[in-house]
Amino acid sequence: MSTAQRVVVDPITRIEGHLRIEAETDAAGKITSAYSAGTMVRGIEIILKGRDPRDAWAFAQRICGVCTLVHGIASVRSVEDALHRAIPSYSIPQNAELIRNLMIAAQFVHDHVMHFYHLHALDWVDVVSALKADPKATSELAQSLSSYPRSSPGYFADVQKKVKTFVEQGQLGIFANAYWGHPAYKLPPEANLMAVAHYLDALAWQRDVVKLHAIFGGKNPHPNFVVGGVPSAISVHTTGGGQGATALNMVGLQTVANVIKQMRDFVDQVYVPDTLAIAGFYKDWASRGEGLGNFLSFGDLPSKGFWDTDSYLIPRGVILNRDLSTIHPINLDADNEIQEYVSHSWYKYSQGDAQGLHPFRGETELAYTGPKPPYEHLDVDQKYSWLKSPRWQGHAMEVGPLARVLMLHASGNAQARELVGMTLKTLDVPVDALFSTLGRTAARTLESKILADAMQGWFDQLIANIKAGDVRTFNDQYWEPSSWPKHMQGVGLMEAPRGGLSHWLVVDDGKISNYQAVVPSTWNAGPRDALGQPGAYEAALQDNHVMHDPKQPIEILRTIHSFDPCIACAVHVTDPDGEELVQVKVK
């Protein structure tokens, strides 16, 4: 490296959606400024306007097929919250809350495991190096880490043979043209082979554990939901239904029980030990990618209903400047707390682009001012993304697993404290190591353990309710929009795998008059705001370290992947007045 340069990584692969990173490096190869750009928009919130709010979940769910249920749940919660604000006695049955908790937690564990093995691992694991491993030594390594039953020498020899044949055929497919042999890869061949084996095992595991979603929601991806509860009627006590009546019978419940066990086993025997083992070779990344140091969580997983925030497993709050001694409360309705900016986003505000707007009063007009494609560079001094910039009291915030684990830790959750303590001790790193690329990745693993364990309690409660004759899953009061107040508004909050999610809904005469989704990856991947403050990705990339070779941007991938980007989620537009209709011309 001799001169400063602009590094462009587009597409960022192994993520959901279309993300572009532009980074300016100094002569040494250190990133001085990073810019995160979402390059795809569909306008789902424009499409939602004027529709039946009960239908909204299906549209909103298609924001993302990876975190496939979160927008569905946030959407039905937004309608239920609007009803609850208007009619305080309105609630949904406990069985529906338990089923939603099980579905949410299953989504987290499924999503986190797939992220670790299929999206993130190839940043740390050199597939080609696995060919040099001794299967017997790999077996010994694996058995020293956990009691996973598939750790025999023959098993690793088979996997190695499979990879060897594949490589020798010369058709590398999804593994072609990657960064194999790059000096940033630090794992010994045996650890690489173990990780490749678990990459394949995790693929097999994930298609089995989604059966939980299929039982309750009929399918995965994109399981079904309903405003007022869940659609899956319980047919356990039913006689005469014929042909199994519904999926939620004894066989279905047994499938759910099996999935919970499979999830807990895989997290305990594979995911947690692999994370710790791999992290041990990358301790230098415990002081890279530190990011903003501000964290926000809306909290989730209620035991006494959505409106009793004290009953949440994951607490709500804000942590500022890495100060874990103070959890700041969030006032959802205050005009000056949660706001979105469009100073660097391809939208236009009627009162000027410098101000922030609260989502209930949010306005948006698609206003592309970027270069006409094809283009080499975006004009990062002007507008450069389809993502907006959400802020809390003017602060840029990081959301996601690290925010939640910190919130659990700061609020005194015993299991979280034990797991964090164990991780820091095993890796022999200080508490500050949490605020890093490695810390973000480890937090994702630790919360998977907490949630997989919690699933058993919700399942046991569901079974106890059914035994006691409580099979209610749906509240049909106020089902018809004709029974609703003329005007109402509500916010559906939840913690999604990638962080705090909020859907803001305004209803007039039974139709959607405004719908706005403020999404985890909007907080994390959004561009600079009116004050020029970078978003979470941008701040984390400006980490004062030198890239080995800016032409092979593995360092950028590591830090960006530690956030688990979901960009189709992050791009959202609502437009109360001036939606743009373009003429469809087939060229």
Catalytic status, residue 377: no
Q: Which of 20, 71, 288, 561 is catalytic?
A: 71
Catalogue the long-range contacts made by 132-140 (C-beta closer than 8 Å, 24 or more residues apart): 132/189, 133/160, 133/188, 133/189, 133/190, 133/192, 133/193, 134/189, 134/190, 135/160, 135/193, 137/190, 138/190, 138/193, 138/194, 138/197
- Kindly report the three-state secondary structure assignment for every residue of 113-132: HHHHHHHHHHHCCCCHHHHH
Using DSSP's 3-state secondary structure scheme, residue 560 falls into helix
The interface with another protein within residues 138-177 (CB under 8 A) comprises: 158, 161-162, 165-166, 169, 171, 173-177
- CB of 242 or CB of 412, closer to another protein: 242
The interface with another protein within residues 56-85 (CB under 8 A) comprises: 58-59, 62-66, 68
Assess 55 for contact with another protein (CB under 8 A).
yes
d(CA 571, CA 40): 7
Neighbours of 238 (CB within 10 A): 14
What is the C-alpha end-to-end distance of the chain, expressed in Å? 44
Q: With the C-alpha atoms ordered 374, 379, 385, 386, is the resulting torsion angle positive or negative?
A: negative
Assess 549 for contact with another protein (CB under 8 A).
no
- Of 283-291, 440-448, 507-515, 572-580, which part binds another protein (CB under 8 A)? 572-580
The interface with another protein within residues 306-335 (CB under 8 A) comprises: none
- The residue with tokens 């978003």 is 535
Neighbours of 580 (CB within 10 A): 12
Catalytic status, residue 67: yes
Q: With the C-alpha atoms ordered 108, 114, 120, 124, is the resulting torsion angle positive or negative?
A: positive
Q: Which of 22, 67, 97, 444 is catalytic?
A: 67
In the complex, minimum distance from the CB of residue 229 to another protein, in angstroms, rounded to a whole number:
7
The interface with another protein within residues 85-114 (CB under 8 A) comprises: 93, 114
d(CA 203, CA 228): 34
d(CA 440, CA 426): 16
- Of 83-91, 141-149, 184-192, 373-381, which part binds another protein (CB under 8 A)? 373-381
- CB of 137 or CB of 245, closer to another protein: 245
DSSP lists the bridge partners of residue 296 as 318
- Show the CA angle centred on residue 351, arms to residues 347 and 357, nearest 5°: 70
Assess 491 for contact with another protein (CB under 8 A).
no
Neighbours of 479 (CB within 10 A): 14
- CB of 236 or CB of 530, closer to another protein: 236
Query: Binding residues for another protein, how many (CB under 8 A)?
Result: 123
Catalytic status, residue 566: yes
Assess 261 for contact with another protein (CB under 8 A).
no
Assess 573 for contact with another protein (CB under 8 A).
yes
**Per-residue x/- marks for another protein, 171-210, CB under 8 A?**
x-xxxxxxx--------------------x--xx-xxx-x
Q: Is the CB of residue 540 less than 8 Å from the CB of residue 526?
A: no
Q: Out of 3, 183, 351, 375, which residue is the one contacting another protein (CB under 8 A)?
A: 375
Catalytic status, residue 440: no
Catalytic status, residue 303: no
Tokens representing residue 144 in the block:
């020293």
In the complex, minimum distance from the CB of residue 43 to another protein, in angstroms, rounded to a whole number:
3
Using DSSP's 3-state secondary structure scheme, residue 241 falls into coil
**Per-residue x/- marks for another protein, 434-473, CB under 8 A?**
-------------------------------------xxx
- CB of 355 or CB of 369, closer to another protein: 369
Catalytic status, residue 71: yes
Assess 428 for contact with another protein (CB under 8 A).
no
Q: Which of 440, 521, 528, 572 is catalytic?
A: 521
Assess 342 for contact with another protein (CB under 8 A).
no
Q: Which residues contact 266 (CB under 8 A, 6 or more apart)?
A: 113, 202, 205, 209
Catalytic status, residue 64: yes
The interface with another protein within residues 34-53 (CB under 8 A) comprises: 39-44, 46-47, 52
- CB of 213 or CB of 316, closer to another protein: 213
- CB of 345 or CB of 473, closer to another protein: 473
Q: Which of 498, 503, 528, 558 is catalytic?
A: 498
Q: Out of 70, 226, 286, 429, which residue is the one contacting another protein (CB under 8 A)?
A: 226
Catalytic status, residue 16: yes
Residue 389 half-sphere exposure toward CB, CA atoms < 13 A: 32
C-alpha 461 chain-centroid distance = 27
Assess 276 for contact with another protein (CB under 8 A).
no
Q: Which of 22, 36, 45, 64 is catalytic?
A: 64
Q: Which amino acid appears at position 286 of this protein?
A: A
Residues known to be catalytic:
16, 64, 67, 71, 498, 521, 566, 569
